[in-house]
Every structure is written in structure tokens, then in C-alpha cells.
Amino acid sequence: MKKIQISPSILSADFSQLKNEIKKLEQAGADMIHVDVMDGHFVPNLTIGPPVIKSLRGHTNLPFDVHLMISPVHKYIKDYADAGANIITIHPEATNDLKESIKHIRDLGKKVGVSLNPETPLEIIENFLQDIDLVLIMSVHPGFGGQKFMPEVLEKVKKLRNIIIEKKLELDIEIDGGIDFDNNKMVIEAGANILVSGTTVFKKNNGDIKKNIDILKTM
């Protein structure tokens, strides 16, 4: 079984103190930093762009796990790579040529992720699994933080885990959306090894980030 990793979403951080929030995450044992990029078009919200990522890059050695919820995504990939993203995750619906976008990310020397919304079938990316590093399963409809976890996506996680085992692939399964202390064990048991969590990491236990990360990692 792969090591369980926590990728805290800075969408739930104090945006006026982002540098300090990231330092707190690093000290608390976060494995990477999840950055949600939204354009108000592909999803109904606006967040941050390359300048913010670039400004934060010098303040931590943790990988930046950048989830691009923007359309069309292809022409912006290089901007986020140049800003300091280590993992770039895109949605198949947001590009005219998923194969070409995957290659573009790889050519820029970054890890490649593909994200599946709750209604997006696994079959849409099955032929690309050998070309990517990570599948991000959305357990809420993307666009806003603090939504309720959708347990029906666990079947997709289990199916993907079985394909990975069957085809002997080196692939991470990341899950994002409503991840908390009530469902962390079930998503790990289903096969996810990277858990994205924002509200739980930053707000639970009076903001004790280390304690919250440790609990989320526990089976």
C-alpha cells in the first residue's frame, strides 16, 4: 500500500497570511500544498493565478499540487509550470486534446494529473493512465470549498485502484471534496493515497494543523 499523504487546500487558508499559512503547513507535516485555480467559467468561482503561486514558491520546499479548473486549459499550462507548480492537474472536459495537454505538462518537466468530476466516468481517461502520475477524483462538484462529501464516488476510487493493480501502474489516487475525520478512513480503504482537505486541516481542533493532518492520515 502506498504511503498516505495529505495535500492541504490553501483555499481554506487565511489569504492575508498565505506565506505564514504555508509555513505552518510545512511545520505540521503536510506532504504538499494543494492550490485550487478557478476561472469563473469552467467552475463558478474565481481564485488565484500564476503571480500568487510564484510569490509563494520561494517560501516552501513542499511540492505545489496545482489543480487547474480553467477552460480552455492548454494555453495556460506553461504559465503555471513557470510559476512553480510541481504537479499540474487538468480536467479532460477543459481541453480539446487531452493527449497533447498531457504531453505538454510532461515536456515542461512537471508531474501530470487528470481530474474527474463526480459525473465524469473513469472510462474517459482509461487509455491515458500509463501516461500520467495522478488521478484526482472529485468527491464534490468543483467550484467552492466546504461542500459535503459524495460517498458514491468511492466506487470510482475502488475501480481505479483495481485497474492500477491489474495493469501494474505507478499511479497516485488523490481525492478532493469534503474530506474530514468521518470519511478519511473509507477513502483510504477504497484506495486513495493522497487526501486533499481544506476546512478540516485549518479549522478543526481549534486550528491545530499538525493534529488534524495526523488524524487524516490514520487508518
The reply to whether omega before 51 is within 30° of 0 (cis) is no
Q: Is 36 a catalytic residue?
A: yes
Rg (CA), the chain: 16
Q: Which helix (H) or strand (E) covers residue 113, if one does?
A: strand 111-116
Give the residue from 51, 50, 37 showing the smallest Cα distance to 142: 37
Q: Is 97 a catalytic residue?
A: no
Could you give the CA distance from residue 195 to residue 137 in angstroms, rounded to a whole number?
10
Among the options 14, 107, 176, 182, which is catalytic?
Answer: 176
Could you give the CA distance from residue 63 to residue 5 in angstroms, rounded to a whole number?
12
Among the options 31, 36, 39, 65, which is catalytic?
Answer: 36
CB 57 within 8 A of CB 162: no
Active site residues: 36, 176
